[in-house]
């Protein structure tokens, strides 16, 4: 068991751990690492700290740097996919027959294509997520879990966590480890992308609209990005689907107005799960925004580029080369992060995937086309799901992926009201990318920061917002 990151002499010192717990919680509150409570999720001044680890978790420096270096290439790849309607139709043709949510998104995509895009400016704020996979020989490699092209969260709160862990390590007199915590400010980088799009839109009075959920426990994560925009004198409004339905409209030039204010950029922090669309009105609003002159973050084709089915198709031989011709080094860097991804389409190849999964369910993860954490299927449950649809096209709503075997470490997971205990933990590294394209010209393409989330090894799935993982920082080793 690896315990790098928490020296044994610290682990054995219960008095010190209790003192550090108290200091860490206060430091998190003082640093603004906050969430609203489940009991009062909206508009309340009652807050708690967002859950986080007591100590930073070890991450090999070379793999961390690999993840950062490949992000600009993933940004470019996602953007190229979004501009290729033939590939999107090809990749998603089986999925949209059985997955109603993806089909509804795809119908909007089709309608926008038929009308022609009103806006040539595209802004993407992505987060590519990885785990560190251990092979049988003890080697470790970086493997991509997924890429999030809509509502990639925790860029705000993760901008605040390095100082907390530095403080804890100082109090624990771990000064060498303290030097290994990197500065990290995704909030500024994400805001830079939105600001660039707003600037290119070219109207000083126009606003950036955050499209937000009804329940807003994670509002402070948004606020860090929002405040970065205000500091640049860019006005921001926050609205829900129903607000836009009531007061939103397009003028004859397709400019989007909400509450009488022109919207330059729509930043989706909502709209990535079926339950976000509570009525047909929500779908009408999504279509209106997609048809508008406002810059969308993401636009509908970029949203679709982040589906699991597209991820699986990209792993096929020759597909990356189709998007990145004459760039063999870039293709190799991207492909090095892929794990095994398998189709469940009807036919011999899909049948073979089903047989593989049923024979060794513990070796795989079954993934639906969903974001937000807590959706994946593991172990015996894979058999239960697939046995119920072996010969049914329903199976094409999923993909199968090799299960990654990360190296566990010890850490303490701090949650409001929860008792302190040492846990065996697994970590997931996210890397934020921001890009802006105007017409054919890429005017910004950057890696803008990282996010480490850690969970107890007893949980197979789920992120911070899903209540399973907690915020963390990489301690580069």
**Residue 276 counted as an annotated binding residue:** no
Phi, psi of 222 (to 5 degrees): -65, -40
Q: Kindly tell me the burial class for residue 3, based on how many C-beta atoms sit within 10 Å of its own C-beta (0-12, 13-18, 19 or more).
A: middle
The pairing of beta strand 470-472 with beta strand 441-456: antiparallel
Q: Is 272 annotated as a binding residue?
A: yes
Q: Is 270 annotated to bind ligand?
A: yes
Q: Tell me which H or E stretch contains 268.
A: strand 261-268
| Strands of 276-397, DSSP E | 295-297, 341-342, 364-368, 377-378
Residue 291 counted as an annotated binding residue: no
**The token pair that represents 423 in the structure block:** 């846990």
Residue 137 known to bind ligand: no
* 218 is an annotated ligand-binding site residue: yes
Query: Known binder of ligand: residue 378?
Result: yes
Q: List the Cα angle 4/416/19 in 5-degree steps.
A: 55
Q: Is 151 annotated as a binding residue?
A: yes
472 has binding-site annotation = no
Is 464 assigned to a binding site? yes
Q: Is 35 annotated as belonging to a binding site?
A: no
Strand pairing partners for 444? Answer: 436
Q: Binding site annotation covers 349?
A: no
Q: Residue 461, Cα to own-chain centre: how many angstroms?
A: 14
Q: What DSSP line would sit under 196-223, residue for residue?
A: HHHHHHT-TT-EEEEE--SS-TTHHHHH
24 assigned binding-site residue: no
Is 223 marked as a binding-site residue? no
Does residue 371 have a known ligand-binding role? yes
Say if residue 196 carries a ligand binding annotation: no
Question: 367: annotated binding-site residue?
Answer: yes
Task: Judge contact between 48 and 42, C-beta under 8 A.
Answer: no
Q: Binding residue per annotation — 398?
A: no
Q: Give CA–CA dist 443/430, Å, rounded.
A: 24
The contacts of residue 205 (CB under 8 Å, 6+ apart) are 235, 261, 262
Is 217 marked as a binding-site residue?
Answer: yes
Q: Are 298 and 272 contacting, i.e. CB atoms less than 8 angstroms apart?
A: no
3-state secondary structure of 295: strand
**DSSP run (H or E) holding 25:** helix 14-31
Which residue carries 């795809």 as its tokens?
106
Q: Under a CB-based contact definition with an 8 Å cutoff, are residues 330 and 321 in contact?
A: no
Tell me: is residue 461 an annotated ligand-binding position. Answer: yes
Which of 145, 161, 149 lies closest to 82, judged by CA?
Answer: 149
Residue 461 C-beta-side C-alpha neighbours within 13 Å: 17
Whether 187 has a binding-site annotation, put simply, is: no
Show which residues are catalytic.
Answer: 127, 146, 148, 153, 308, 367, 371-372, 453
Q: Is 392 exposed, middle or buried (0-12, 13-18, 19+ CB in 10 A)?
A: exposed
86 in a labelled binding site: no
Q: Give the pair of three-digit tokens for residue 297.
A: 């973050």
Return binding residues for Mg(2+): 146, 148, 371
Return binding residues for ATP: 146, 308, 367-376, 378, 401-404, 428, 455, 461
Return binding residues: 127, 146, 148, 150-153, 216-218, 269-272, 308, 367-376, 378, 401-404, 428, 453, 455, 461, 464-465
Return binding residues for substrate: 127, 150-153, 216-218, 269-272, 453, 464-465
């Amino acid at each position: 068991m690896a315990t790098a990151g928490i020296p044994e002499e610290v682990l054995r010192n219960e008095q010190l751990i209790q003192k550090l717990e108290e200091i860490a919680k206060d430091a998190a509150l003082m640093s603004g690492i906050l969430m609203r409570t489940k009991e009062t999720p909206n508009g309340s001044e009652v807050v708690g700290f967002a859950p986080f680890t007591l100590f930073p978790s070890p991450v090999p420096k070379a793999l961390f740097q690999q993840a950062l270096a490949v992000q600009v290439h993933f940004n470019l790849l996602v953007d190229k996919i979004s501009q290729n309607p033939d590939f999107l139709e090809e990749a998603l043709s089986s999925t949209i027959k059985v997955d109603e949510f993806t089909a509804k998104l795809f119908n909007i995509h089709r309608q926008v294509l038929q009308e022609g895009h009103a806006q040539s400016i595209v802004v993407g704020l992505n987060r590519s997520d990885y785990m560190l996979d251990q092979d049988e020989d003890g080697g470790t490699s970086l493997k991509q879990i997924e890429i999030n092209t809509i509502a990639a969260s925790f860029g705000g709160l993760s901008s605040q966590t390095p100082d907390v862990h530095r403080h804890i390590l100082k109090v624990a007199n771990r000064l060498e480890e303290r030097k290994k915590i990197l500065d990290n400010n995704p909030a500024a980088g994400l805001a830079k992308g939105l600001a660039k799009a707003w600037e290119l839109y070219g109207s000083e009075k126009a606003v950036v609209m955050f499209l937000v959920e009804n329940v807003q426990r994670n509002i402070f994560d948004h606020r860090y990005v929002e405040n970065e925009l205000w500091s640049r004198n860019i006005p921001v409004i926050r609205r829900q689907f129903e607000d836009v339905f009531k007061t939103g409209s397009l003028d004859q030039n397709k400019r989007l107005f909400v509450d009488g204010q022109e919207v330059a950029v729509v930043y989706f922090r909502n709209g990535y799960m079926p339950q976000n669309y509570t009525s047909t009105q929500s779908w009408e609003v999504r279509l209106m925004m997609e048809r508008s002159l406002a810059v969308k973050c993401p636009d509908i084709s970029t949203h679709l580029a982040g589906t699991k089915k597209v991820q699986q198709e990209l792993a096929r031989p020759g597909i990356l080369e189709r998007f990145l011709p004459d760039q063999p080094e870039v293709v190799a860097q991207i492909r090095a992060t892929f794990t095994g991804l398998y189709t469940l389409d009807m036919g011999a190849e899909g049948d073979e995937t089903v047989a593989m999964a049923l024979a060794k369910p513990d070796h795989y993860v079954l993934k639906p086309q969903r974001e937000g954490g807590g959706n994946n299927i593991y172990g015996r449950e894979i058999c239960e799901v697939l046995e119920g649809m072996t010969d049914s096209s329903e199976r094409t709503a999923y993909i199968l992926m090799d299960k990654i075997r990360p190296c566990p470490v010890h850490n303490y997971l701090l949650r409001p009201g929860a008792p302190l205990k040492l846990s065996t933990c697994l970590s997931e590294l996210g890397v934020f990318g921001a890009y802006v394209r105007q017409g054919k010209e890429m005017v910004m393409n950057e890696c803008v920061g990282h996010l480490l989330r850690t969970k107890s090894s007893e949980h197979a799935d789920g992120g911070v917002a899903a209540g399973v993982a907690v915020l963390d920082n990489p301690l580069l080793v």
